[in-house]
Structure 1
Amino acid sequence: MNPILHQIGAVFIPVRDIEKARDWYSDLLGLPERGEILFGHLYVIPLQGMNLVLDSRIYSEENLFQVPAFHFNTEDIEQAYEYMNSRDVELTTEIENNHWFNFRDPDGNHLMMCKC
């Protein structure tokens, strides 16, 4: 029997300033609470299916996501695009194929929004 589950528990995102990153991602995702920063460098954002872990200890320009390692889901790609644009998020593509677009977090990580 294989003991490895077909699940991903978390994705680690390198961030420069853990408090600023916590606030930015929490605001972006509409999370009202600001939880505890763990061990001075980790912040866990629970999502459906897995967690995002912001980690300032692993931050370096070489560790930034040059291409999206995952995507956030949306049911309305146009509304998500306008929402991000209204928040002055750096959009790095237009909506492509009526299905997805890319953007950057304040630290320069490339991320993706995708219509589910």
Structure 2
Amino acid sequence: MIPILNQVGAIFIPVNNIEEASDWYCEILGLPRDGEILYGHLYILPMNGTGIVLDSKIFSEDNIIKTPLFHFNTDNIESAYEYMKSMNVHLTTEIEHNHYFNFRDPDGNHLMVCKC
């Protein structure tokens, strides 16, 4: 029996300021900001499915995500794009192939939204 499961438990995102980052992510994802900051540097976003952990301890200019390592799902790519524009999110691409677009968080991490 293999003791490692073929599941992704959580994705860590390096952030500079844990309070500001947790507020920003909760706002753009429509999540309640009712969790606590753990150990002074971790915030676990209450996601459905694979978790996201914001971590200010691992932040450095060298650790900024330069290529999206995962994507947020959407059922409507056009609505998602317009929503992110209305939230003044730094969009780095237009909608590509009617399927996805990229953006940056306030710390410069490159992320993606993709039509599922």
Q: TM (normalized to structure 2)?
A: 0.97
Across the aligned residues of Structure 1 and Structure 2, the Cα RMSD in angstroms comes to 0.7
Do the aligned partners of 2:22 and 2:33 also contact (CA within 8 Å) in 1? no
Match of 1:73 in 2: 73
Q: Is the 8 A contact 1:22 1:34 kept in 2?
A: no
TM-score with structure 1 setting the length: 0.97
Matches within 5 A, 1:59-70: 59-70=59-70
| Equivalent-residue separation in structure 2 for 1:57 and 1:103 (angstroms) | 23
Partner of 2:37: 37
> Aligned AA for 1:97?
H
Matches within 5 A, 1:8-23: 8-23=8-23
1:97-108 matched pairs, under 5 angstroms:
97-108=97-108
Percent identity (aligned): 66
| Alpha-carbon distance in 2 for matches of 1:66, 1:46 | 24
Structure 1 segments unaligned to the other structure (5+ residues): none
Give unmatched runs, 5+ long, in structure 2.
none
Partner Cα separation in structure 1 for residue 32 and residue 42 of structure 2: 18
* Inter-partner Cα distance in structure 2 for 1:115 and 1:27: 20
